[in-house]
Amino acid sequence: MDNTPDRTPVVDLAAGRLRGAVEEGIAVFRAVPYAAPPVGPLRWRPAQAHPGWSGVRDATADGPSAPQMYMEGGDPVLGGHGSPPFDDDCLTLNIWTPAADGGRRPVLLWIHGGGFVSGSGSLPNYSGETFARDGDLVVVSINYRIGPLGYLYFGAEGQDGQDDPEAGNFWLTDQLAALRWVHENIARFGGDPGSITVAGQSGGAMSTAALAGHPEAQRLFQRVILQSPPFGLHIPTPAEYLERTAAYLQFAGANNADELRDLPWPRLIEAAGGLFGHTMEWGYWPTPFLPVRDGVTLREHPAQTLLHGAAADIDVMIGWTREEANFGFALDDRYAVATQEQVLGRIAETFADDADEVYDAYARTRPGARPVDVLMDLITDELFRVPCVELAEARAGAGRPVWAYQFDLPTPACGGRLAAAHCLELPFVFDNFDKWSHAPLIEGIDPALRDGLAQSMHQAWIAFVRTGNPNHPGMPTWERYGAESRATMRFDSVVTSVGDLAGHSRTLHEGRTRP
C-alpha cells in the first residue's frame, strides 16, 4: 500500500481500514474511534473497546467534541476553547504523521486542558502539524469525556455491580484507552510504540500525571511534559465528592445515575452551570468538576505519582507561567475592587496568623501592587508554581531527571493586565500563531520577538520528545533541575537558565501542607 505523503493515505488496523488525507504534506487521520461510544448504558461507565467497522472508514473530517458549555462569540482571553458540533459520542483521536510507513518515529500524545469542563483535541490550536513537520514526529490529540459526563462520581450507587463498583474518573479510563490504542496501533502510522511522550497543559497536565500513576499506563510511555499542572488543587475523597454529586443531581432534577442516563446531554451541561455557582469560593479558581481519589483508578494525588515506583523512571519536563492566575482574575471587575482586608482573609486560610507578613512579602515584589495583584500572585503560587517546584525538588533530591521552566513573556493584550498568564505559552510551544488569530491573549505581541521565542520553545519540546532532553543548538544550555542548582529555564525576550528562579515563592510557602 503506497502511503507516501503525496498519496491518499490508507491504513489497515485490526478494527478496520482508515482513509485519511494529506494536508500541507502531512498525512492526517481525523475522528479515529479509540473506544466505544459512551452513550446509553455506557454513560458513566469505564471506556470500552470499540467494536470496529466494515469497509473503509473516512477519517478526513473532525468528529464531534465532548459536550461542554459554549459561549457564542468566545471569551475575552482565549476567544473560545471548544465549538460545535458537540456530542457524547466523542471518544476519537486525530493523528498527524509525515508518512504512514515503517518509520518508527517518536510519538507525542497531547491531552488538552480546559478546567475539566472545556476543550477539544480537534481545536486548530492543538494541531499536530507543526510538530510532525518540524520534528519528524507522529502526533496524536484526543477527545475525552469532560464536565459531568467525565467527572461525576457515584460510588457504588449506579454502577450495577460492575467489577470496580466504586470506580470513577471516567475521563481517565478514556485517556488510558486512547494511550492503549496508540501503543497498539501507532506503528501503522509511522510511529514508535516504544518512544511515547504524553504531554498536556493545565487539566491535561493533571491528566498526564494521573496516567503516570496508573499501573498499566505507566508501562506504555517514557516521558511526560507537564505544562501548568494545577497540582495545588485539593483532589476530593469519595465521601467529599458524593456531596458534590448530590448537589449536581438537584440541579439536574434527578434522583440517581439511572435517571441522569435518561437525560439528553444538553440538559446535563445546563445543570453544570448550577454546580459552578454552588462550588465557587471567593479567591479560588472555579472547579465544579474534579478528579476523585477513588482508590481504584486514582490512588493518590497526581502530584505524587512521578516520585516513586516505575513512574520515577519517566523523564519529566515541568513548567508554569509567571502570572498564571491573571488568566482567571485580571479581567474580572469583581476582583478589581477587592480590598486589602478581603485578600488578607483569603491569605489567612492558608497562612493563618502570618497573613499580614505574607501580604507584605507579595506586595514588595510588585511596586504599587493592588490587593488583586497580591491575590493573583498567591493563587499562582498555591495552585501552580509552588507545587510544581515541590515536584522538581523531590525528583532532584532522589536523583531523578526533571527539567523545569518558567514562561515570563508578558502579553500586551488587555492593557497588559494579563501579563504572562495561564495558556500564553501554548502558541509558542506549538509555534502556530496562525491558528490562534481568534485569541485576544496574543494581540500586540511583537512578531519578531514572538517568532524567535516560539522557535526556541518549539524545538526544545521536539528535542525532549525525541531524546528525553530539551537541549538543542538554538538556545542556551538547559540544565536539569538540581537539588542545589535549582536550574530553571526562563522563556522571555531573552532565553536564559536561572538558578532558583522561583526561590521567593518556594521559601514563602516552605512547610505548608499541600492538599
The rounded distance, in Å, linking the Cα atoms of 337 and 53 is: 57
| Terminal-residue alpha carbon distance, the chain | 53
Q: Please provide residue 55's backbone torsions phi and psi, each rounded to the nearest 5 degrees.
A: 75, -160
Q: Point out which residues pair with 108 in neighbouring strands.
A: 139, 197
Q: Point out which residues pair with 397 in neighbouring strands.
A: none
What are the residues whose beta carbons fall under 8 Å from the beta carbon of 473, sequence distance 6 or more?
none
**The C-alpha cell of 275 is what?**
454546580
Residues classed as catalytic: 202, 324, 422
Q: Which of 353, 245, 253, 351 is nearest to 289 (CA)?
A: 245
CB 329 within 8 A of CB 376: yes
In this structure, what DSSP letter does residue 86 have? B
What would the 3-class secondary structure string for 255-318 be?
Answer: CCHHHHHCCCHHHHHHHHHHHHHHHCCCCCCCCCCCCCCCCCCCCCCHHHHHHCHHHHHCEEEE
Q: Point out which residues pair with 18 in neighbouring strands.
A: 11, 57
The rounded distance, in Å, linking the Cα atoms of 447 and 456 is: 14
Helices and strands, number each (H, E), in the chain: 16, 14
Q: Point out which residues pair with 290 in neighbouring strands.
A: none
Identify residue 246 by its one-letter amino acid code: A
